[in-house]
Amino acid sequence: MPQKPKWLTDKEYRYIYARTPRPCVDILIFTKSGFLLSKRAIPPHKGLWHFTGGRVYLNERIENAINRIAKTEVGVKLKEIEPLGFCEVFIPEGPNFHDVSLVFTAKIKSGKARNNSKQAKEIRAFKKVPGKIVPAHKRFLKTNWKKVKSL
């Protein structure tokens, strides 16, 4: 049985992720109103819309990471989780230099979507790509728009 991960100190985090990509998952959660995005409240990309997502811990299964992040950030349990592709985010400043994210689609199984994170200001459903969005997420949505639009 994998052990519960311990948090890295800020110094350890910066040291590691200045030298290697950070494995993440992102989730496009679909509702009747569209797909959910949240507005960043902290750097990097403060004030821009972005996918629900976060890092994958050591010994954590991808499915467990998806469910943990959905519960932590949006307050929901998910169903119909399906892979959509991958997205890379390059950030020249800060501890997150290079994120490699597996992107999934999902629907809400239970709970009501709400901003449940200190990292976000608000959550909103969209039917099209908003103008003020993390550039890598904008590229990903445009590249995968036919699939996204059909969901």
CA diameter of the chain = 44
Q: Can you spell out the DSSP letters for 93-124?
A: SSS--EEEEEEEEEEEEES------TTEEEEE
Residue 53 CB neighbours (<10 A): 25
Between CA 113 and CA 35 the distance in angstroms is: 11
pLDDT the model gives residue 1: 52
pLDDT the model gives residue 2: 60
- Contacts with 119 (C-beta within 8 Å, 6 or more apart), sequence order: 38, 40, 41, 42, 73
Q: Which residues pair with 83 in a beta bridge?
A: 104
pLDDT the model gives residue 58: 86
pLDDT per residue as tens, the chain (151 positions): 566 667 788 888 888 888 899 999 999 999 999 999 999 998 888 999 999 999 998 889 999 999 999 999 999 999 999 999 999 988 877 666 799 999 999 999 999 888 877 788 899 999 999 999 999 999 999 999 998 888 7
Between CA 21 and CA 7 the distance in angstroms is: 17
